Amino acid sequence: MKLAGRMSRLGTETAFEVLARARALEAKGRNIVHLEIGEPDFDTPAHVIEAAVAALHSGYTHYSPSPGIPELRDSIARNAGAKRGLTFSADQVVVTPGGKPIMFFVLLALAEEGDEVIYPNPGFPIYGSMIDFVGATAVPVPLREENQFRLDVVELGALISPRTRLIIINSPQNPTGGVLSRSDVQRIAELAVEHDLVVLSDEIYCDILYEGEHVSIAEFPGMAERTIILDGFSKAYAMTGWRMGYGIMPTSLVPSIARLVTNSVSCTATFIQRAGIVALDGPQDDVRSMVEEFRRRRQVIVDGLNAIPRVRCAMPSGAFYVFPYVGDVGLDCRTFADYLLNEAGVATLAGTSFGKYGEGYLRLSYANSVENLQKALERIDSAVRRLT
């Protein structure tokens, strides 16, 4: 079948491919430690599950309005506002099946041929994929280890042209765990105002932060009318498979994004939206204890990687990923990731799965038990020693 030309511009997320290859090896009897997947290994909090079941029994089995049920939009506005020290209204919120569709819809709504969109590289692969897909030009801003994987604001400024329409930022960041400082975010905001740019601020990991504060770009002068915050339930509430996220945006943009929801998925599952209210308004102990457990694992994996010859790993400040430098092991990072999967039984992702500036690195998710992390570290250590 002849595909539309635009399909050649659509990328993907390698994590799903590596997971499939790892599963195929497991089907042949191999033992694999999974460090490729970007999702918490915890169960969704029990009271959230109960709320969804109760909602199903109470008849929340019909369509909802495309931007979401009013009670959830209200709860998101209150909770997301309180967390950021800002005031949002329910009519700024659009609920979607996962946070990912917000990227898709915002780029469809705002970027077109001739526009340039600046995005972090290494970064979440869907940014570049969607920028290309809508026909805009993807302009990567490199993230470097020597700058703690924070973008360099001077470099960002130099990439802005008269064609720049949008900047995508992501803090805490996937894949590096880097976190932008208050002054970084403030200076990005100043650039956005000066050049009349829109900012898509992917804050999906804002609850998974080990040091410092989460700074939302929406809080700076002139940003309320040009920021779209992307956030959701997948990471903080261990709800990846439920598919629910949201965007918070200027009210003028809401009808367009809601129309894209109507044209694609109609709405987010109604009983899941009911559970979302309980997740946000209910006790937050599970979120806190999950983050504390991630903090413990972060130490285990960073210490373990730094003890392996020719591997170096910076301490990430947020999310649940490490991005160790493996450029001295003697293989390019994709070959090394394949080697670890096939020869050592450890599934990881090559840094280049997140863009060209990821060469020399691997992404490991530490959303796995300490026991499995230790097993993976031992396997990586002996695999690296075998390379000499």
| Residue 174 in the binding site for ligand PLP (CB under 6 A) | yes
**Parallel/antiparallel/unpaired status of strands 33-34 and 346-347:** parallel
Give the residue, chosen from 74, 116, 184, 202, that forms a contact with ligand PLP under the rule CB under 6 A.
202
Give the residue, chosen from 232, 276, 318, 345, that forms a contact with ligand PLP under the rule CB under 6 A.
232
Binding mask 281-320 for ligand PLP (x = CB under 6 A): ----------------------------------------
Stretch that binds ligand PLP, among 81-89, 95-103, 137-145, 274-282 (CB under 6 A): 95-103
Gyration radius of the chain over CA positions:
21
Closer residue to ligand PLP in complex, CB, 45/345: 45
Neighbours of 222 (CB within 10 A): 13
Measured from the CB of residue 99, what is the shortest distance to ligand PLP in angstroms? 3
| Residue 170 in the binding site for ligand PLP (CB under 6 A) | yes
| Residue 98 in the binding site for ligand PLP (CB under 6 A) | yes
| Residue 79 in the binding site for ligand PLP (CB under 6 A) | no
Q: What residues have CB less than 8 Å from 314, skipping those under 6 apart?
A: 145, 148, 149, 302, 322, 323, 324
**Parallel/antiparallel/unpaired status of strands 245-248 and 227-232:** antiparallel
Measured from the CB of residue 22, what is the shortest distance to ligand PLP in angstroms? 17
Q: What is the DSSP letter of 209?
A: B
Give helix 70-84 / helix 270-281 axis angle, nearest 10°. Answer: 30
C-alpha dihedral, 17 to 22 to 28 to 30, nearest 10°: 170
Q: Where is 300: in which H helix or E strand?
A: helix 285-306
Neighbours of 367 (CB within 10 A): 24
| Nearest Cα residue to 36 out of 252, 380, 321, 354 | 321
Q: What residues have CB less than 8 Å from 299, skipping those under 6 apart?
A: none
The site that binds ligand PLP (CB under 6 A) totals a number of residues, namely 13
Find out whether 354 and 123 touch, Cβ atoms under 8 Å. yes
Closer residue to ligand PLP in complex, CB, 100/379: 100
| Nearest Cα residue to 259 out of 64, 67, 62, 63 | 67
Binding mask 123-152 for ligand PLP (x = CB under 6 A): -x----------------------------
Measured from the CB of residue 229, what is the shortest distance to ligand PLP in angstroms? 12
| Residue 100 in the binding site for ligand PLP (CB under 6 A) | yes
Stretch that binds ligand PLP, among 55-63, 77-85, 98-106, 216-224 (CB under 6 A): 98-106
Stretch that binds ligand PLP, among 45-53, 97-105, 274-282, 353-361 (CB under 6 A): 97-105
Measured from the CB of residue 39, what is the shortest distance to ligand PLP in angstroms? 7
List residues near ligand PLP by CB under 6 A: 38, 98-100, 124, 170, 174, 202, 204, 232, 234, 240, 245
